Amino acid sequence: MSEHLQGGRVRGISIVKAVVIGNTSIYLGGKRDKDGHTHEWTVYLKPFKSEDMSVYVKKVHFKLHDSYSQPMRIISKPPYRVSESGWGEFEIMVKIFFQDPAEKPVTFYHLLKLFPNESVTVKDKTLISELYDEIIFTDPTSIMYPLLFNARPMDPTLANHHKNFDELERKTFTSIIEARRKIKTEIAELSSRLKNQREYHHTLKQEVKELEEEKKT
């Protein structure tokens, strides 16, 4: 293998752990009398594949808006999620700490979605906003290395995603292929135009040269 141990880290290797960060929300039908809240919501972090992240994740911090009485929520075991209620959208910091303190925490940001738009999905009156992301461990510590490779399988229902990422991947791949085809066509057209321009300039230079020769005679 090309990787080797140096300074407490396994050098020459990168390990990718895919995750899904998102939230669900349900409209309460209006402002709640006791607090004026209009939605109940849950924000979460979960593995893209069915595995127990607690093997290598020590805890997850969810930093909510400062208007909440306890804006910092610390979750130490799966499922990594926080449920609350509110009336407005805001950015939530999701900070992941690992079993080895020498492995630097990773921070993501998720914009809490409560209201329908083109970026969210609505199923059975539940609004869903999910994003795929990746944690990349470059030269992981010698403690983290075996943990990352030996994550236990988990209850598959805890890793179910509301968004069809396979379909999204297929559409993205199709879009990339189409974009490449379009770029290739545009490059061919530009090359043809450039060739024509060069030939035109060459013809002009020849005509100018012939005119100068005629003047000399």
pLDDT tens, residue by residue, 102-116: 999 999 999 999 999
What is the amino acid identity at position 138? T
Q: Is the pLDDT of residue 165 over 70?
A: no
Q: Is the pLDDT of residue 169 over 70?
A: no
Whether 44 and 158 have beta carbons less than 8 Å apart is answered as no
- Token pair, residue 139, equals 């030269």
Give whole-number Cα distances, 50 to 59, 82, 158, 217, in Å: 18, 20, 8, 87
Task: Please give the Cα distance from 100 to 153 (Å, whole number).
Answer: 21
Instruction: Read off the pTM.
Output: 0.73
Please name the residues in contact with 131: beta carbons below 8 A apart, sequence gap of 6 or more.
Answer: 20, 21, 22, 110
Q: Is the pLDDT of residue 6 over 70?
A: no
Q: What are phi and psi of 96, to 5 degrees?
A: -105, 125
Give me the mean pLDDT over the 25-30 stretch. Answer: 96
Question: What is the predicted pLDDT for the residue at 156?
Answer: 66
Question: What is the predicted pLDDT for the residue at 212?
Answer: 78
Question: What is the predicted pLDDT for the residue at 159?
Answer: 60
- What mean pLDDT, rounded, does the chain reach? 88
Give me the mean pLDDT over the 131-143 stretch. Answer: 94
